[in-house]
Amino acid sequence: MTDSSSVSSASLPELAIYKNELDRIIVEAQEKVKLIKSELEGRYLERAQDTLRQQGKDFGSVTIEEGAHKLKVNVRRRVEWEEGMLLKVLNSMDEDTARHYAQIKYTIPEAKYNNAPPEVKAALSEARTVYLQGVSVDIEGMDNA
């Protein structure tokens, strides 16, 4: 079952078998990719960090040559801000400067929205838009598939 015509003509049990097989293959492939990424990181991270430090950087992309091969190593970063301290710093700036640098996003967690009293939920719903993000179909009750 490798083309769209064989998939569209397959029975539900056949689709369940094929989907389960592909799910297994995907999990195995993801595990192998994770293992390879870990090995590459172990081999090349330190060299990449040394090269970045020579450039006066802690993060970024570098190209490492090994024999006839070139590897592009991207050392990424994740930044977190301490909100209380950041708020103090922004409040000490003039309003235009603070607005230039700061980005504020208001959101309501779905669990809190769903558990809100009816009057709060009604007020919040005026500012809420829900978009379809995708559909997931799981086949259940096909244990012998």
Query: What does the pLDDT read at residue 99?
Result: 93
Query: What does the pLDDT read at residue 52?
Result: 94
Query: What does the pLDDT read at residue 142?
Result: 64
Query: What does the pLDDT read at residue 115?
Result: 97
Give the distance, in angstroms, between the CA of residue 5 and the centroid of all CA atoms in the same chain.
Answer: 33
Report the alpha-carbon distance of residue 93 to residue 62 in Å, rounded.
37
Digit-by-digit pLDDT tens for the chain (145 residues) are 778 888 999 999 999 999 999 999 999 999 999 999 999 999 999 999 999 999 999 999 999 998 889 999 999 999 999 999 999 999 999 999 999 999 988 899 999 999 999 999 999 999 999 988 877 677 777 665 4
Strands (E), 1-145: 60-66, 69-75
Q: Is 48 helix (H, G, I), strand (E, B) or coil?
A: helix
Q: Is 18 helix (H, G, I), strand (E, B) or coil?
A: helix
- If you search the block for the tokens 């083309």, which residue do you land on? 3
